């Protein structure tokens, strides 16, 4: 990769792979580009990571994660209303979770990946 455009195009490909096929496909793509072949058995499965709250226990963000995990398919406004957690906190936590690949937003509804 020689230019910024090449890097940005590669990042978009990785994001598309992660969104469509999960983090394993994205990780394989990155490792292949780095010249580090890795077999699928060496990559942790989503079952290995499922149920792990990425936030420190007792934080508002951890509460948002747990709420979404137990109430999948709600829209952001519904999460705010039903959880009783401040709107800004919910939006921030959902953004962080989405960046980490922990949640997905489909048709405005939130799900744990």
Q: Give the contacts of 101 (CB within 8 A, at least 6 positions apart).
A: 18, 23, 113
For range 92-97, the mean pLDDT:
88
Using a pLDDT cut of 90, give the percent of the chain over it. 17
Q: What is the mean pLDDT of the chain?
A: 76
Judgement on whether residues 33 and 57 belong to the same structural domain of the protein: no
Residue 9 tokens read as 């195009």
Q: Of residues 73 and 16, which shows the higher confidence score?
A: 73
pLDDT of residue 47: 45
Which H helix or E strand runs over 71? none
Look up the domain containing 17 and give its range.
Answer: 4-44
Judgement on whether residues 17 and 62 belong to the same structural domain of the protein: no
Rounded to two decimals, the pTM is 0.53
Judgement on whether residues 40 and 55 belong to the same structural domain of the protein: no
> Tens digit of pLDDT for each residue in 43-93?
444 444 445 677 778 787 788 888 998 998 999 999 999 999 999 999 999
Number of domains in the chain: 2
């Amino acid at each position: 990769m020689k230019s910024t455009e090449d890097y940005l195009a590669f990042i978009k490909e990785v994001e598309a792979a992660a969104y469509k096929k999960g983090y394993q496909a994205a990780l394989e793509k990155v490792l292949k580009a780095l010249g580090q072949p890795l077999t699928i058995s060496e990559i942790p499965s989503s079952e290995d990571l499922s149920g792990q709250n990425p936030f420190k226990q007792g934080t508002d963000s951890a509460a948002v994660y747990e709420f979404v995990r137990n109430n999948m398919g709600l829209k952001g406004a519904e999460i705010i209303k039903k959880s009783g957690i401040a709107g800004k906190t919910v939006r921030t936590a959902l953004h962080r979770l989405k960046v980490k690949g922990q949640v997905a937003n489909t048709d405005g509804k939130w799900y744990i990946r």
